[in-house]
Amino acid sequence: MHSVRVAGVGSTQFGKQPERASRDLFAEAGAGALADAGVPHADVEFVAYGNFAGEAVEGQGHAGPLAADALGVDAPATRYEAACASSGVAFREGVRAVRAGDADVVVAGGAERLSHLDTAHTTEALASAADELWEGRAGATFPGVYALMADAYFGEYGGTREDLAHVAVKNHANAMGNPHAQFQREVTVADVLDAPPVADPLGLLDACPITDGASAVVLASEAYVAEHDVDAPVAVTGSGQGGDRLALADRAHLARTPAASAAADAAYADAGVTPADVDVAEVHDCFTIAEVLALEALGFYGHGDAIGAARAGETTRDGRLPVNLSGGLKAKGHPVGATGTSQIAELTALLRGDHHNADAVPDAEVALAHNAGGTVASAVVHVLEVAE
């Protein structure tokens, strides 16, 4: 099995960019990643592209070749769709291609354009990641189903809206100074609690925003890195994927995400590490409750124990396990198809020491990325480490 390095990363600004098509956004992110890597376009052998709602919001399917063309790359390309985990899955497939020896250089990334639609139409498009027959036709939206998960968590383990508010406060603080973040402003617990309700117990500031953007990562084999003298100090040492029933009604627990647990277990075993070895993490916080569920699924906390982590300062910038130093989906933004590789880009910068919050984890050697699709019916987890 061939070792895999992250040779370069790139990202657009996240936010409302309704005048830009997904292909344009991806071209910018991909070009940035190749420039960061110092790898010529001609050396790219495969493009793995994540995109969720292209058909619904841009009338565009068959987006893999389109992404490669926009990037100026003449190579096979495949689009991967796993709802909000689309580019996380694309990244995993890129890792697998390099490990298998099928390619020495892969560009993995994703893009999404959503803000050109009104909120109702965007919500409808996003709702297609749930079970259309049993949830969509009943009018379920993602704020609604995550509210059900929050209620289930409170009922089984306890917790309050104020506990969740601390998650939002933490992530907004982390986004300050992030040049790619959609929201670079701090919020208070009172701001979160006083925000308009979306779906009880979740309010507007418990939810991530509608976002346009793209991200990309250049993956390279260790042999390519050595032969071409590429500066690539970050290695991908663990990769895992898990799945669950699509509809919440079919699951054994609403307050647990076993798909993420399965993905994490596989990634830890692959890398030969444990949760205790992780120095910094980016987790999928599409809603504040999602961060809590992720921390427990990933083995950082027991079931029912992560609800007070942000309030206690354990996952803050100065805590024992800084989580979402990018600002997370909550403040950095969530261009659905781009989120997974955006997490990888942020963690790579943290491990290289060129991230805006790198001084919070100056000795970090092991990082974890958790990317989830829908109500975590899909999940991918990756472990990155500073190469020896």
270 in Cβ contact with 168 (< 8 Å): no
Q: Give the closest residue to 232 by CA, choosing from 64, 31, 36, 67.
A: 36
Average pLDDT over residues 334-348: 98
Which conformational region is residue 328 in: left (phi greater than 0), alpha (psi within -120 to 50 degrees), or beta?
A: left
**Mean pLDDT across 165-193:** 97
Mean pLDDT of 308-314: 98
Torsion over CA: 153, 319, 264, 214 (sign): positive
In the predicted structure, residue 173 carries a pLDDT above the cut 90:
yes
Cis link prior to 275 (omega < 30° from 0)?
Answer: no
Over 80: is that where the pLDDT of 1 sits? Answer: no
pTM: 0.97
Instruction: Give the per-residue pLDDT at 125.
Output: 86
Least confident of 10-19, 34-43, 89-98, 116-125: 116-125
Q: Which whole number is the average pLDDT over 334-342? A: 98
The catalytic residue positions are 84, 334
Lowest mean pLDDT among 27-31, 128-132, 283-287: 128-132
**Structure confidence by residue, pLDDT tens digits, 31-50:** 999 999 999 999 999 999 99
Residue written as token pair 């627990």: 253
Residue 126 has pLDDT above 90, yes or no: no
Cα dist. 128→87, 167, 210, 260, 319 in Å? 17, 27, 16, 21, 37
Q: What percent of the chain has pLDDT over 70?
A: 100
> Residue 232: what pLDDT?
97
Confidence bin at 127 (pLDDT 50/70/90)? confident
Selected residue with higher pLDDT from 45 and 142: 45
Averaged pLDDT, 296-313: 98
> What would the pLDDT profile of 190-233 be if each residue is shown by its tens digit?
999 999 999 999 999 999 999 999 999 999 999 999 999 999 99
Query: Which pLDDT value is given to residue 362?
Result: 96
Classify 142 in phi/psi space as left (phi over 0), alpha (psi -120 to 50) or beta: alpha
Mean pLDDT over the full length of the chain: 96
Domains and CATH numbers, the chain: 4-117+209-382 (3.40.47.10)
Q: What's residue 119's pLDDT? A: 85
Main-chain dihedrals φ then ψ at residue 223, nearest 5 degrees:
-65, -40
Tokens coding 325: 């130093």
Q: Is 289 left (phi over 0), alpha (psi -120 to 50) or beta?
A: alpha
Strand ranges across the sheet with 366-373: 77-80, 46-50, 105-112, 213-221, 4-11, 234-243, 378-386, 366-373, 280-282
pLDDT at position 120 is 84
Reported as a single tens digit per residue, the pLDDT across 273-289 is 999 999 999 999 999 99
User: For 370-381, how does the pLDDT look when each residue is reduced to its tens digit (9 = 90+)?
Assistant: 999 999 999 999
